[in-house]
A and B are shown apart, each in its own frame.
Chain A
Amino acid sequence: MMGIVLDKGKHHTVSRDDRGRDFLSILTPCQSRIYSYILTSVPCFSDADDILQDTIHLMWEKFDDFEIGTDFLAWGKRIAYFLILRYYRKKKKENKFYYDKQLLLKLGENFQQASNSMKDNLAFLKNCMKKLKVQDQKLLKLRYFENHKAKELAKRYGCSVQYIYRNISRIHQLLLACIQKQKSPLKELF
């Protein structure tokens, strides 16, 4: 995920720095959720990263309008939503595929409903990762930690890029099934 980059050149007064600290303290716990929301609507890491960056910039620009005490996450998601719409308008002009507004709204609703149940996902994921086969763990590590591109991995191992993608997909499916299994006893309690 992208880090937070504030435009210090524009905001160098002491009061702005204080506001910046306030902003960061509220943003930090929400940033991951905002990114999840963006990634749900724009399922492409590089594009979602750009939109997150723009969202944070815009949130920072508009931070004076934000009323402390109201829902910061909802405010951030709303700003992200407009940037997502802008992104898809651009895609449409380029004749590239786009999610339509109706689907974005549906996804937004599902995202809202799923939000609470996703709190512990990271912990479950860590647990499930340990249960993966060694070679599966290594593939994920090479791809996401070492940041080797799929093409690069395919070239090194003499297989097609498609094999890499399909294996990544397979591992994702295993992990998600594992997370859901771990979550199911908790569900039953409620």
Chain B
Amino acid sequence: MPLERLIKKQIMDLLVLSLEDAATVEDMQMLRAILDRSDEARDYYIQAVVEAQNIRDIDWEVETSEDLMNSSDILNYELWKAFAEQETIAPTVEIPKEEIEHEIIQKVEYPLQERKKLSKLTILSLITSAAAVLVLASYIYFVPVKHSVPVASITEMINAVWADTEKVSGTRLWDDETEHSLLHGVAEITFDSGAKVLIEAPASLKILSDSGMFFQGKLTAEVPSSAIGFTVHTPSSKVVDLGTRFGVIASVKAGTEVHVDQGKIEHIPTSESLKSLSRHIIEAGQAGRISEEDGLSTIVCRRERFLWDKPTAYETAVFSTNPVSHYRFDDGVDKIAFDAIDRTVTQSESFGDVKLAQGKTVDTEHESKALHLAGNMESKFFIRDKTIEVTKGDALTISLWIRPEQMIDGGQNVLVYTDHLRQTDRYYSNQIFLTGDNHVGFYFYQHQTVDESALDISMESNISISLNQWCHVAVSYGKGAVNLYVNGKLHASQTYQLPPQFFNGGYWAVGCKTGHETGHPNNWENLPFRGSVDEMLFFDRSLSDQEIKMLYEKAVKRER
């Protein structure tokens, strides 16, 4: 079976790096894997090695280096870039076709034709036609014809929905500048040059070559040494990689932001009105913006706004359940929480001894952070998240991990929804709490029942949870049923008549005291939570038992 052109290219690219002692361990592993796989690949590789050896040994005509360097058509920067872009579509070397000598079978004598006189009109028509043919021929000759080739692949799709075609993981993308729109989810595209981009919806892109793309939306790019020079073109600028990992947010209106995580990039204005601005080198930990409004400006690097790594099995599970908000408590400062799905900054505020504490948490395969609350009377963490309000309380699921450090008589409050004035002593609902003996509880306050009775719904787990151990808690309600889960298992279930009360413009309060005083200063219905909270998810629907079990198991087993 003939070897695919792409495989040939890969073999040659890797071989050239290897011969020059410039290949990385990963490059060599890839080469080894290709050679291990097929006889045809090894044959091609051997021919390539021998060719490289022969080029080295060939008798070159003597021409001084100085002549070569100074000659007018020697390669310049722009030409090299053009080469890089044209690399995959370069025509093969022309081989002259064999001239076939036609044997004369029989000599034929044709009678002489009568000469016709040509009119002026005929001559004029002929001249015009000849000129047209000449113009067409010149056009074909001088204007290079671009042959499209596949230069990238979709290598991962997490809950991804594309607008144009039904793409799947493994779909090849051609450098034909077709627009691809990602409407939902996350997709990873790997270019044949080795560059990888992780794209978050909504986004649109055009593949320009194996080392370049046009892009609008949000992405992170990881560029290995084999693909240095990888370029992201945006409506206002282009971002040229100089060996790095960077994030881009680009749109026609807001311009282009680049946040560099590792290495450095070159940010070059390209739109007509910005062309006069100088190019800008941005290094690790720095960020810059180019926009029509502000020109070129330096901004604060916000690493946490991007999705840098391919999601783990747990993260994939989260994406598949499609939460409206996801608080990871991994990045940022105490007063800011970030939504991992659409990365919108959510207003939040902490009081008392609340911090993002380092330590091994449930959500990732590495050390990360969790929200830690000291449990004193002032400890609380407020989040105002408008995405939750869309639920209107008709259906909701809350999933979170908690790690209590102490049993507290009278119970402790983990999470509650309160009003816009944050009056947790008077107005609260959707409350997750621990009882004095560490049973998990859930409470909500209904708007108003038909018979004006049974305004409160309250339930508790039938087991108590351990101190200093992570425990998964989930509450799900909708269509008149509310369920409480602990570590993936259903522990309590109740029915209700009307949805729970949701306060307009209210806040989620993590770990704060709730209830009202009855004479004693510390006589709160529930005291502040002492311990850690992590991976808090909100959904605008009632998740199934299986989905909640999956969220629990994927985090615990850390499957990939």
Contact = CB atoms under 8 A, between A and B. Distances in A.
Interface of A: 1, 32, 35-36, 39-40, 43-47, 96-97, 99-100, 103, 106-107, 110-111, 113-114, 118, 121-122, 125-126, 128-129, 131-132, 134-135, 138-142, 144-146, 148, 150, 156-170, 172-182, 185
A141 B63 contact: yes
Given A110-B39, A135-B73, A173 B55 contact: no
Contacts of A169: 9, 12-13, 15-16
A36 B77 contact: no
A146 B50 CA distance: 20
Interface of B: 8-9, 12-13, 15-22, 25, 28-29, 31-32, 35-36, 39, 42-58, 60, 63, 65, 68-69, 71, 73-77, 79-81, 83-84, 87, 90, 92-95, 98, 193, 225-229, 242
B42 A110 contact: yes
Contacts of B69: 142, 156
Contact of B80 (A44, A159, A175): A159
Contacts of A159: 75, 77, 80-81, 229
A176 B19 contact: no
A177 B68 contact: no
A172 B16 contact: yes
Contact of A176 (B12, B36, B90, B95): B12
A178 B95 contact: yes
Nearest to A112: B46
16 contacts: A1-B53, A43-B15, A43-B49, A44-B19, A44-B20, A46-B21, A97-B29, A135-B73, A141-B68, A144-B60, A146-B65, A150-B22, A157-B76, A166-B84, A169-B9, A172-B51
Given A110-B42, A140-B55, A156-B69, A135 B79 contact: yes
A97 B71 CA distance: 41
Contacts of A163: 80-81, 83-84, 229
B46 A114 contact: yes
Contacts, number: 191
Contacts of B63: 141
Given A97-B28, A106-B42, 19 more contacts: A1-B53, A36-B50, A43-B15, A44-B20, A45-B21, A45-B56, A103-B32, A107-B42, A114-B46, A121-B51, A125-B55, A131-B93, A135-B79, A141-B60, A146-B65, A157-B74, A170-B90, A172-B51, A174-B92
A167 B74 contact: no
A170 B95 CA distance: 17
A139 B57 CA distance: 15
Q: 8 smallest A-B Cβ distances: which pairs? A: A97-B28, A159-B80, A145-B60, A178-B93, A110-B42, A43-B18, A169-B16, A162-B228
B53 A160 contact: no
A139 B75 contact: yes
A39 B49 contact: yes
Contacts of B47: 114, 118, 121, 176, 179-180
A1 B77 contact: no
Nearest to A154: B80
Nearest to A125: B54
A110 B46 contact: yes
Contact of A45 (B12, B20, B32): B20
Contact of B43 (A36, A96, A114, A170): A114
B39 A44 contact: no
Nearest to A179: B51
A140 B502 CA distance: 73
A36 B22 contact: no
A182 B284 CA distance: 50
Nearest to A110: B42
Contacts of A166: 13, 83-84, 87, 193
A40 B49 contact: yes
Given A157-B77, A163-B84, A132 B68 contact: no
Nearest to A100: B32
A64 B365 CA distance: 62
Contacts of A161: 22, 228
A43 B56 CA distance: 14
B95 A182 contact: yes
Nearest to B86: A170
B84 A167 contact: yes
A174 B48 CA distance: 11
A29 B94 CA distance: 32
B67 to A, nearest CB: 10
A43 B54 contact: no
B53 A167 contact: no
B13 A122 contact: no
A40 B36 CA distance: 14
Contacts of B193: 166
A76 to B, nearest CB: 16
Contacts of A135: 73-75, 79
Contact of A144 (B36, B44, B56): B56
A104 to B, nearest CB: 10
A93 to B, nearest CB: 15
Contacts of B32: 97, 99-100, 103
Contact of B53 (A36, A126, A141, A173): A36
A170 B83 contact: yes
B260 to A, nearest CB: 17
B51 to A, nearest CB: 5
A157 B69 CA distance: 10
Contacts of B18: 43-44
Nearest to B33: A103
A40 B46 CA distance: 6
A131 B225 CA distance: 31
